[in-house]
Structure formats: structure tokens, C-alpha cells
Amino acid sequence: MNFTPAGQNGLVDCFLLIKTVERKTSSKGDNYLDLVLSDNSGEISAKLWSYIPALHGEYSAGDIVKIRGTVSVYNGNDQLRIEKIRLAVDSDNVSPSDFVKSSDYSGEEMFAELYSIAENFTDPDLIAIVTTIWSEHKEQLLFWPAAFKLHHAIRSGLLMHTLSIVRLAQKVCEVYPFVDKELLISGAMLHDIAKVSEYDIASSGLATGYTVKGNLVGHLVEGAYIIKSTAEKLGITSDCVMLLQHMVLSHHNEPEFGAAVRPMFIEAELLSQLDMMDARMYELREVAESTDENNFSGRIWSMDNRKIYNHGRDDLNKKVKLF
């Protein structure tokens, strides 16, 4: 994350958006705020120690705040110790969009490209199911993030993740011509469709937490239900309905990662592997970007607590090539 220094020794003075905020109690019994703050270059963990609501104010996810504090390294990662904080006011002339990291491409152009791919399938059932579901969720898909905290947790991140997998699928099918290309791409376009009901979203376009449905049902089961109910509405009874449901239910690969079943046919296995590949590549790039050349990152819990090495040979400024 890039800060504009206000002085020496890591001192910063700037506006940031609150991505998450929790009120906690220290081992000494003092209240403190545990926050994740962001701008359009990334995010940083922050702490406001000895928190007193009447003195410091009260804050929620999605608020824009002006902070003054000091950045230091804790367990190999940057952490911001907040000294002063206040809510942004109208006279500050700041907008949530100024603090939100967004996809490399607009939601409109990614949606149009993906919809066009589905429209040009040869299987009429896959055309009908995919285009109907996408049309019904277009408003949300244009800006929805793909995650709460991890990969593609950015504005229009869900479309970027989906189009990335579709591009990978198209290339894979050139190497493995025996794969049902339209089934694989349909599964890719629908595998995360229920994320539009899994997260609470702020006006900034970032997720602030999980909905009740997201917690109790989850996007795999809900996604399979959306496919089934859409097919019933369209009068489609072919086996492709069951195949698509299985791809959605199994794309996390292992039960410990949330999969209802493990992948049991070629396209389901490919979707699971491509989904993991794209998610990991996004996270690895994010970590490498925030790590100095020829240095290791702190331990990344989402990658089995590995430390990531930035060897400096990659041009991390190049955007993902989707068009």
C-alpha cells in the first residue's frame, strides 16, 4: 500500500476507507479498534489503542476517515498505529471511489464479453441457462467483488475472476481438444454466481461482511439452486443441468475448503484447478507487489503460512490480459 509520508519514521497523514473494523479488548483490559484500511493501491492492518468512543468517535465499515499515525513492521507485515482519527466531512471533497481498488477493466466491458461468449454457444440449453442467469444478475455483476478479504476482493472483481478463468479455459481446450469447451466455460461463468447474495456490499463496491444466506447456505449450494430453478423455469431437463450443478458444488475441490462433493468428471476437475490457479495468481501478485525486491513477505495464512519471495524479475505493473 502506498502512503504519502507526512514526516519521518513512517509517519502518515491521509484519508483512507475502512474496509473492516472490530472493537476488541487487549490483554490489559483496554478497548482498542482492529481495522483494515484501504485506498486504491491496497490495504493495511491498523490498530487504535486505548479506544474511547466519546473521545475518538465511532466507525463502521465503508466510512472514509482521516488518520494520522505511524507505519511499522509487525510479524513481517506493515501495520498502522493510529494516533488521530476522524470521519471525513463534505468539505474534504473525498469520494469512496477514490479509495477503492478496482478491476483492470470496466464491469460493462467484461460483462459484454462474457455474455457474448455464452450467446455464441452451440448448445441451446447452455445458452438459455447461462444468459438467463446472467441477465437476471447483471446489475450486481457489474461491480460485485469476488471475495470479502482474499482474491479479487475489489470492485468488479467477480467479473475479472470469471473472465480470467474463461480465458484460461479457452487455452486449456486448445491443448485438450477432448474437453467439452462449452460445458467448461458455462461452469466457469456460473461457479461463483451466488456470491451476489453472499456478501453485504458498501457503496464503495467492497464487501463488508457475509449476509445471513452467505453464512447459512453459501455460494456453492445457492449457486446449484439457482441453476436448478432457472432450468425448471425454462423447461430444460437435459443432463447439462445436473452437470452444471455438480461443477458449482465441487469447484472448491475438497470438503475442507467448502466443496459439497469432489469433482467427478473432466470439466469439473478443470474448473476447480483453474479457479484455484487464478485465485492464487492474484494473491501471489498482491503479496509480491507489497514486498521489497529480494525480500520475503510475512507469512500468508491463506497459502498455508508460506512466506513469498519477490525475486524482482517480474513486471508486476502489467495488468492481466483479458482482451
Please provide the average confidence, as pLDDT, over all residues in the chain: 91
- With cut-offs at 50, 70 and 90, classify the pLDDT of residue 151: confident
| CATH 1.10.3210 location in the chain | 102-284
Look at residue 7 in the predicted model and tell me its pLDDT.
42
> Is the model more confident about 285 or about 77?
285
> Helix (H, G, I), strand (E, B), or coil: what is residue 237?
coil
Task: Please tell me the predicted confidence (pLDDT) of residue 2.
Answer: 52
**CB crowding 177-216: b at 16 or more within 10 Å, else e:** eebbbbbbbbbbbbbbbbbbbbbebbebbbbbeeeeebee
Q: Where in the chain is the domain with CATH 2.40.50.140?
A: 11-98
Topology at the third CATH level for domain 102-284: Hypothetical protein af1432 (1.10.3210)
- Average pLDDT over every residue of 194-201: 93
CATH number assigned to the domain covering 11-98: 2.40.50.140
Give Cα 114 to chain centroid, integer Å: 18
Quote the pLDDT of residue 180.
98
8: pLDDT strictly greater than 60: no
